[in-house]
Structure 1
């Protein structure tokens, strides 16, 4: 490849010598004095910056098979032309020599690094020699031959080619996904079953089996269990500031009412048995006053714990960007974990007292001793929540929420089934057992 002026000059080059010493004579000295006219009558000379005053053609020197050399114009350069038109070359017209192993030949020893890669210089080699290294996790390069990759914003993540940042996938337990639909369906189904049992108890409210074990406390327990089933719906959906606060506080309050109602029923069974003994001082405590006192005092204590929790460090929505790669988990941060475990601990305390009391009174002589069913229901309740804690701590994101919903529904269903299903079977299937004569007879 060569370059020469626009047309072959017809006039003879003239040079002039100067008075400089012979030792300082250089090629540039003679070139800067070149001045001639071409066949178009254009002045050809070098300016003070040793640049041609006009453009020139780019010549391709081609060796023909017969040994003849042929000059082919393949482009031009005109420094005074407009931008984009100053350098013109026809790459398709260039004929490269057969000795080149690569056409067109490269001026560097390494290929360009594509977007998604960065250059890594090779030790003890020229700067044009480098390796292309893929961008690390969480970083991109959106141009060729970048020396360093760029980190994406915290809520973005590289695409598959790692050449652009895309928003992270947002994950939370949604009503539209299969897991959310299953939990929603089970919650509504259990609440409907609970409502049917409540309706049966209201319809047969004057029968002996309903009245025998404190009818009003049974109503309170059934209503609180129905709300327990429905409160699990608050855990489904995108976490918001209001829903994060309502999740744990509603769950803690409603479950404290349920467990305190069971404790009141258990204590009522014990007191009813001992009050029948001659000279017993428990007769004056018989009635609904002691039961309501137990429910109210336990509920107020749990309410106080929830208020302290909300005024010190309430739950709040939290964007967890570290748990899963390329995803952003929207979850509720519990705020004060101490307050959270205090609420759970008080529920465990109520469940433990109810279980111990019911277990000790399970063999009291009675034709329908409710303590037996309360004992089994508390065993189911405690088993669910004992397995809940390690499972809850070992999961993340929407599955952690699903574990808590399952624990709420499973424990509530255990209380509902163990305490009230036997009564419903007697009311609907064995009406002969639902009589005062049967309930008062001695075993």
Structure 2
């Protein structure tokens, strides 16, 4: 039948009129059960979703009954939608500021939540009020100006299929349907904010509470699939994972109840088996009726139902806590603590008063109220039954205040608020159109608008640009896509023990805010489900990683499921759930827990610390001993032991050893540019002079014994000239190396932040490492030559053979510096400097003790040996 009627609509108007002109005065054989009519000069149409029809499916396994058994079930809460339209029209008719010369009327029909009922209602609106004649008006008083509806996307889509043909504006108070072949904004206006605002609001809510592991439940409809395809990548890019995505089958009221129960039990088990405590639900207006089945799907009803209710439900604006009549005594705890995005609404005090006076006795033309009243108050009117002995009789004096809020609310709901605004939007657009001189119109003698003068396509221009403030102070206007420019409220649903509930606004999603804070939430105002013991619910796949660790993804699982691994050495994570550990700055280092960067200690070998102080005292002690030895030798300047083996060379050696001890002090203290330039070069030069003196002494001893042989040519080499030349050559060559070093790549102060994790080591960068080892190598070369000559001359026949002591001194010297290189390279920080200082002091002390202690012993303790005869006496 519906397809036949739609095909008739495609006929030209004159052909349709011919086809049905004979039936203009015949009543429709199947009049709608629910309608609400009020006459007026201009008519607003309404498509309500007030009740649905349940019937058993026909399997055709046996002969079907002649009459299909059907049962009408009212959704009591949706009756407020009908009353909101009636109230708005009444208020406008009583307002002389709007359409003062025109009265408004309305025709409201029920869609019964199905395509057949929606098409039927839409065709009735476009034809005569009492006669269904598609594409023909048998009554010229049906001046339909626009249609308000529907509640669900499919209802709106089915209505738009017919209304688009006539260019009749359609103002929906539910989500926009997906219209593939429809020109956007042509005759479709959405009285709710755009869907994208809800998506952003849900995401902001999840991120605020750090709920990253959620379940997603949608209806298996085109809008539900679009919701899934939109939010899954959107949420995933923000770090949110889905424990499951479950689609509820499209609800058909011509179905087997057992099939519905089986599907509900399957979905319930999926919810119960998930660790996710947060469920995002995107459904139709009637979805809550089926959601409330969940606690009753198990044999262990009470125990299992409690677990099922221990979730945080996040619902979209389309959904209201609605109960069917058979759910009158059902527990409402499943929604306790739920969060819902609802259409922003303000209180309408006059509407509240209007609802308080609604009764079957005072309502005229309302064919909705009878079934509503009987099912909402569980009573019957005497005229509807023959036997009233066992029935509660409806007196008509019942009050809507007696109904639980899941059945009916006296405060305006979001959808009713949209209907109220839709009526006013059309009224203001009509007022603007009639007031405009650009639109020609004729008035009858009684001042009423002639119905055939205006065209509906003209009305769209004014409706698209409408903007006004309603009685609650909210601004109503459309954007370029025909969507209402408004925000959303975040509501916390709190269930009561009397099967009722109340709503508390805990947040706002307001894109028009001037502060720039689109999403706001008042966490302290939220009441959570008792299952969470009043604590803030947590919904995570894995426990949060504590500071000091990072996340490691589990193979084959969503990225929200991970293991926690400790941060590696040198890295930290200062917050929970870090994806990776970060490296501290050069001036800081990780603590033991790897959750904090600590400022590094400035480290250098200073005079204040024990190591530095002891080395400094050792250097000063060596210098003092050297000075005392020098003074002793100078006091005994003319004694044979001082004069032996070049006295000036001895003084030069002592002075160089003094400078060697003092050069160690350049290595102690905070490195400066000058000290970095001087300490290695000064050390290299003075040690080269000292070792050159030792070499000269050794060579002098060797040459002296060789010169004593008769006819020896070595006598010309024996003397001060050769010794001085050796010392001068050793000094000049080392000095040349140091000058080249300073010219090419000189040492400079440096802060080493990498060698030791906990310290910033202040030291001297040697510049050219090659030149540094050239200096050491040259000293080593001189020392090796001295040691070799001294070793060869150690057995020369002399009472006081200085070559023996030089051999021991150079043995100590070479041992110290051979062990210096690996030790120096294996230490870090200030201890590297300490190793070099120790090597300087040890080698200097070795030369001083081994060479000069025997002489000092003779000078101070054995002066009788300090004679020429004793020195030149040869041993056998």
Q: TM-score by structure 2 length? A: 0.44
> In the alignment, is the contact (CA less than 8 A) between 1:54 and 1:79 conserved in 2?
yes
Distance 1:347 1:55, change over 3 A: closer
Describe the superposition over 1:280-305 as per-residue Cα deviations: whole angstroms up to 9, x where unpaired: 44444443222211111121111112
1:96 counterpart residue number: 529
1:6 counterpart residue number: none
Segment of structure 1 superposing worse, 177-186 or 118-127: 118-127
Segment of structure 1 superposing worse, 360-369 or 148-157: 148-157
2:868 counterpart residue number: 436
Alignment of 1:3-402 (within 5 A): 12-14=83-85, 17=108, 22=118, 26-28=150-152, 29=172, 38-39=348-349, 45-46=417-418, 58-63=492-497, 68-69=498-499, 71=501, 88=522, 90-91=524-525, 94=527, 96-98=529-531, 100=532, 103-113=535-545, 116-125=548-557, 128-160=560-592, 162-402=594-834
Distance 1:40 1:328, change over 3 A: farther
Q: TM-score by structure 1 length? A: 0.81
Report SS of the residue matched to 1:27. Answer: coil
Report SS of the residue matched to 2:785. Answer: helix
Report SS of the residue matched to 2:825. Answer: helix
Distance 1:150 1:36, change over 3 A: closer
Distance 1:76 1:426, change over 3 A: closer
Partner Cα separation in structure 1 for residue 845 and residue 547 of structure 2:
57
Partner Cα separation in structure 2 for residue 36 and residue 366 of structure 1:
121
Larger radius of gyration: 2
* Residue correspondences, number: 428
Partner Cα separation in structure 2 for residue 391 and residue 169 of structure 1:
24
Distance 1:384 1:137, change over 3 A: closer
> In the alignment, is the contact (CA less than 8 A) between 1:171 and 1:397 conserved in 2?
yes
Describe the superposition over 1:254-309 as per-residue Cα deviations: whole angstroms up to 9, x where unpaired: 11111111122222223333444444444444432222111111211111122222
Partner Cα separation in structure 2 for residue 136 and residue 442 of structure 1:
73
| Deviant stretches of 4+, over 6 Å | 18-21, 33-37, 40-44, 50-57, 78-86
Report SS of the residue matched to 1:157. Answer: strand
Report SS of the residue matched to 1:329. Answer: strand
Distance 1:422 1:77, change over 3 A: closer
Distance 1:269 1:102, change over 3 A: same
Q: Point out which structure has higher relative CO (alpha carbons under 8 A, 6+ apart).
A: 1
Deviation, structure 1 residue 207: 1.6
Distance 1:408 1:13, change over 3 A: same
Deviation, structure 1 residue 156: 3.2
Distance 1:342 1:101, change over 3 A: same
Deviation, structure 1 residue 36: 10
> In the alignment, is the contact (CA less than 8 A) between 2:696 and 2:726 conserved in 1?
yes
Query: Of the candidates 403, 406, 410, which is equivalent to residue 842 of structure 2?
Result: 410
2:212 counterpart residue number: none
Runs (5+) with no aligned partner, structure 1: 1-8
Report SS of the residue matched to 2:842. Answer: helix
Distance 1:143 1:380, change over 3 A: closer
Distance 1:27 1:301, change over 3 A: same
Partner Cα separation in structure 2 for residue 277 and residue 351 of structure 1:
28
Partner Cα separation in structure 2 for residue 26 and residue 112 of structure 1:
45
Deviation, structure 1 residue 228: 0.6
Segment of structure 1 superposing worse, 115-124 or 206-215: 115-124
Partner Cα separation in structure 2 for residue 145 and residue 440 of structure 1:
88
> In the alignment, is the contact (CA less than 8 A) between 1:205 and 1:211 conserved in 2?
yes
Segment of structure 1 superposing worse, 201-210 or 113-122: 113-122
Describe the superposition over 1:60-106 as per-residue Cα deviations: whole angstroms up to 9, x where unpaired: 2144xxxx446567665577899799755645x837334x5884333
Distance 1:170 1:72, change over 3 A: same
Report SS of the residue matched to 2:762. Answer: strand
Partner Cα separation in structure 1 for residue 347 and residue 661 of structure 2:
101
Segment of structure 1 superposing worse, 101-110 or 215-224: 101-110
> In the alignment, is the contact (CA less than 8 A) between 2:750 and 2:764 conserved in 1?
yes
Deviation, structure 1 residue 376: 1.5
1:5 counterpart residue number: none
Deviation, structure 1 residue 357: 2.0
Distance 1:123 1:208, change over 3 A: closer
2:370 counterpart residue number: none
Distance 1:306 1:272, change over 3 A: same
> In the alignment, is the contact (CA less than 8 A) between 2:584 and 2:590 conserved in 1?
yes
Runs (5+) with no aligned partner, structure 2: 1-79, 87-106, 123-148, 153-171, 175-190, 193-342, 353-411, 419-475
Q: CA RMSD in A?
A: 3.8
Segment of structure 1 superposing worse, 313-322 or 215-224: 313-322
Partner Cα separation in structure 2 for residue 377 and residue 262 of structure 1:
9
Deviation, structure 1 residue 399: 2.5
